[in-house]
Amino acid sequence: KQEVTQIPAALSVPEGENLVLNCSFTDSAIYNLQWFRQDPGKGLTSLLLIQSSQREQTSGRLNASLDKSSGRSTLYIAASQPGDSATYLCAVSLSGYSTLTFGKGTMLLVSP
């Protein structure tokens, strides 16, 4: 059974810091890995999607990497801002379809 783990569970940083969020998965036979953001009491917003054949994806201040063989992904956030405060979730797709297995998330707080 695929398990997705995110470390740390919570992170508090001052504004302007660069930070790294980690995601690991037990079964390397994934089709893709996605990073989402969730604001309190809200739905999820897709940030980056990395196909299994790719090593990284970038969007603005966000960069996500994928190492399938070691079962790891990292989300790098450059020059963090208070508006980045949210819970960040990673999820993997194990089939050709869209079904996702999620980690429990990293709660990020960026202080002004």
Partner 1 sequence: KAGVTQTPRYLIKTRGQQVTLSCSPISGHRSVSWYQQTPGQGLQFLFEYFSETQRNKGNFPGRFSGRQFSNSRSEMNVSTLELGDSALYLCASSLVGEHQETQYFGPGTRLLVL
Binding mask 51-90 for partner 1 (x = CB under 8 A): x-------------------------------------x-
Contacts of 31 (CB under 8 A, 6+ apart): 51, 52, 92, 93, 94, 95, 96
Q: Is 41 a residue that touches partner 1 (CB under 8 A)?
A: yes
Part in contact with partner 1 (CB under 8 A); list of ranges 8-16, 59-67, 78-86, 102-110 = 102-110
- Token code pair at residue 44: 């999820």
- Token code pair at residue 1: 């059974």
Q: Is 45 a residue that touches partner 1 (CB under 8 A)?
A: yes
Place of tokens 């790294």: 20
Query: Exposed (0-12), middle (13-18) or buried (19+): which is 33, by Cβ within 10 Å?
Result: buried
Part in contact with partner 1 (CB under 8 A); list of ranges 13-21, 55-63, 75-83, 97-105 = 97-105
Rule CB under 8 A: which residues touch partner 1?
A: 31-32, 34, 36, 41-46, 49, 51, 89, 91, 93, 95-105
